[in-house]
Amino acid sequence: MHDHSGHFLTRAGLKVKLVGRNLEDLRPLLKPYSVQLIEDGDNTTPDLVISHGGDGSLLGAEREYPGIPKFPLRDRRNNPKCPRHEEPTLLKQLFKGELPGDALPKLVATTQAGERLSGLNDIVVSREVHLGAIRTRLYENGRLLRAQVIADGVVFCTAFGSTGYFQSITRGNFQRGIGIAFSNSMDGDSFTILPENAVIELELLRGPASLVADNNPCILPLADGARLSLRLARQRTLVFGLEAFRCQDCYLLRRNGVH
């Protein structure tokens, strides 16, 4: 079990894997630190994965190295930084054990056939044919939650992922639990938030639909009558520096096209 304080990051010879884009910009910034970089083709398990890019790079890093502590760092070519979050400053704080860590849960969806998809952000059931909506029925811990929802799609998300697709639908986010948002629902009811221990079952009354998770290229088709079980996984992933990664000052620079 890793210490959420990040004390293990001060250890000499820390094994670090870099993933994402523009890694040639990141490598020189790591030279002052006594870390061991794991190169492609080396099957050594890293102590820490640094994702360099945006949100998608972090999601891809978790998919490739599930459960291993992460440090998401936005790349400067696409993401301008406010003065508090320059790369050298954040790396110095990281390897001094000064950046707090957050233990993030993942959502897991399991089909009747035993196929599984997991998402740090969200899992989405969306219509496959754009000429009509899908119809779904939802259960919470075996109890009927929604008899029928007619919508373009259903989004299941973690609190961490609630600032993404969930927020674009509901114009809000949440801090704890599992969120369910309905895209363009016929009844106008756009969301539900359930406890973290909820076990959710979705029945596809009318499809066809597709099941996707985060930015995973794997897409699972769902036919009429398909059932899914969704819940938060027990294992959590320790992620350092989320406050810097989601800094509003940095975001405004990106939104306004500042370089």
Q: What is the pLDDT of residue 258?
A: 65
H/E element, 153: strand 153-157
Count the alpha carbons within 13 Å of 108 in the hemisphere toward its beta carbon. Answer: 14
Tell me the HSE value of 173 on the side-chain side, using a 13 A CA sphere.
14
Q: How many CA atoms lie within 13 A of 120 on its CB side?
A: 24
pLDDT in tens, 227-253: 999 999 999 999 999 999 998 888 888
Percentage of the chain exceeding pLDDT 70: 97
Q: Which domains does the chain have, with CATH numbers?
A: 7-100+241-255 (3.40.50), 106-235 (2.60.200.30)
Give 192-208 pLDDT, tens digit per residue.
999 999 999 999 999 99
- Please report, for residues 3, 52, 96, the alpha-carbon distance to residue 35 in angstroms, rounded to integers and kept in the order given: 18, 17, 13
**Interatomic CA distance for residues 134 and 205, integer angstroms:** 8
Q: With bands split at pLDDT 50, 70 and 90, how would you rate the model's confidence at 131?
A: confident
Contact 122, 166 (CB under 8 A): yes
Output the pTM of the full model.
0.90
pLDDT at 249: 87
Instruction: Tell me whether strands 35-38 and 14-20 are parallel, antiparallel or unpaired.
Output: parallel
